[in-house]
A and B are shown apart, each in its own frame.
Chain A
Amino acid sequence: GAGVSQTPSNKVTEKGKYVELRCDPISGHTALYWYRQSLGQGPEFLIYFQGTGAADDSGLPNDRFFAVRPEGSVSTLKIQRTERGDSAVYLCASSLGQGGATDTQYFGPGTRLTVL
């Protein structure tokens, strides 16, 4: 079946602009996660959704970052007033959301964001 998809695959923007990154999880997965991966580093957690609600947004770096999941499926990560330091690969993952801590997360291919 279809895996997690993310669009766009690459996004180049200018400092100060607004960007939206989209994630389509695996059908039926209630849990959705966003991570950010800088060059040479491991992914870092940003936000976790269970259904439509953000259950844990402790990883969002500041109030320029916001994410929504209005119908409990597709999620959009929104970044306002982008800065060069926001350049990274943004990864989305989904899981069934029923197994608790041992749920396997399935990752999308990521969106590479470059802020000039």
Chain B
Amino acid sequence: SQQGEEDPQALSIQEGENATMNCSYKTSINNLQWYRQNSGRGLVHLILIRSNEREKHSGRLRVTLDTSKKSSSLLITASRAADTASYFCATVGWTGANSKLTFGKGITLSVRP
């Protein structure tokens, strides 16, 4: 079963605009991560935010976490055509050394040149 629900399911924006993607989850988490996937194959890790953190930045990426609402958002600023991909949020529970990921269904982002 999948933990996360991303919103929207699909997003189309113009190059240079910002893209905001949201994720909600159901159970208590140790951390939440965002991944990018191109062409339905390999996943690339983007950013990790721990349950005791509220905001984190990495380059053009900004992620927020609200554990009271069990939700997270990923902001990509100044988008580029190369950002076109599917984006997934994934949670890790309190399972010791096992960092198995529970993914949402993903968001398809299209950035028009």
Interface centre among A56, A97, A105, A110 (most CB of B within 10 A): A105
Interface size class of A (residues with CB under 8 A): 20 to 34
Flag if B45 contacts A45 (CB, 8 Å): no
Q: Which residues of B contact A (CB under 8 A)?
A: 2, 4, 30-31, 40-45, 48, 50, 88, 90, 92-106
Per-residue contact bits, chain A 46-90, to B (CB 8 Å; 1 contact, 0 not):
001010000110010000000000000000000000000000010
Interface-located stretch among A12-20, A21-29, A35-43: A35-43
Specify which chain A residues have a CB less than 8 angstroms from the CB of B41 in the assembled complex. Answer: 89, 109-110
Given contacts A56-B95, A56-B100, 14 further A-B contacts (CB under 8 A): A33-B100, A33-B101, A44-B2, A48-B100, A50-B98, A97-B97, A100-B99, A101-B92, A101-B97, A102-B92, A102-B99, A105-B99, A108-B42, A110-B42
